[in-house]
Amino acid sequence: MAGFFSSLLQWLSGLFFSKTAEIAIVGLQASGKTSFVNVLGSGQWSEDVVPTVAFNLRKIRKGNVTMKIWDVAGQPRYRSIWERYCNGVDAVVFVVDSSDKEKFETARFELHQLLAQPTLHGVPLLVLGNKNDLEGHASVNELIKALQLDKITNRPVSCYSCSMKSQHNLDIVLQWLSGRSH
């Protein structure tokens, strides 16, 4: 009987104390954006992820937080639409393949182009250096320097090294995202 009341209380608190967060996930192609959304939603990582065309919308509930997540394609032809999906969100998540250092300059350019849009002024930014399970990946300090995150002053900025495959640091990332809910 105590289990029933505990379940009932949890259900009721979810009704009255639930929070929402709208998140846009952007980054260059093959950085792990869709894998991130899949791991958040199902807890499962897969090698067989089809590249996103334009965008995917997914709602994921974690505890008392419901996240509406825009997973936006990273191929060059879609980067011009990033702003549209980032406008009005509670946070922007920029995913970088931390093992592909040759793409850091392009990633920096695209990130700063996006953040220069007046409609995104003040929107919190989370940079995820994904694929830290691969040898030779960049550290958080290397990412901060390569992407010039220290030059971004008009919004809160956080950067974490993570791996969708091993789910390393996923708990910290979820905590950060939940902190953006209202």
Give the model's pLDDT for residue 46: 66
Angstrom CA distances, 107 to 31, 94, 102, 114, 176, stand at 10, 9, 10, 11, 22
**Per residue in 69-91, is it b (16+ CB within 10 Å) or e — as a string?**
bbbbbbeeebbeebbebbeebbb
3-state secondary structure 61-110: EECCEEEEEEEECCCHHHHHHHHHHHCCCCEEEEEEECCCHHHHHHHHHH
**Between 71 and 175, where is the model more confident?**
71
pTM for the predicted model, two decimal places: 0.87
pLDDT in tens, 117-172: 999 999 999 999 999 988 999 999 999 999 999 999 989 999 999 988 888 888 88
Give the model's pLDDT for residue 112: 97
pLDDT in tens, 72-126: 989 999 999 999 999 999 999 999 999 999 999 999 999 999 999 999 999 999 9
pLDDT in tens, 10-49: 555 555 556 788 999 999 998 988 888 888 877 776 676 6
- For residues 64 and 20, what is the distance between their CA atoms, to the nearest angstrom? 8
Helices 33-42 and 170-178 cross at an angle (nearest 10°) of 80
* Domains within the chain, CATH numbers bracketed: 19-178 (3.40.50.300)
Angstrom CA distances, 170 to 102, 133, 158, stand at 25, 13, 14
Give the model's pLDDT for residue 94: 97
Give the model's pLDDT for residue 173: 85
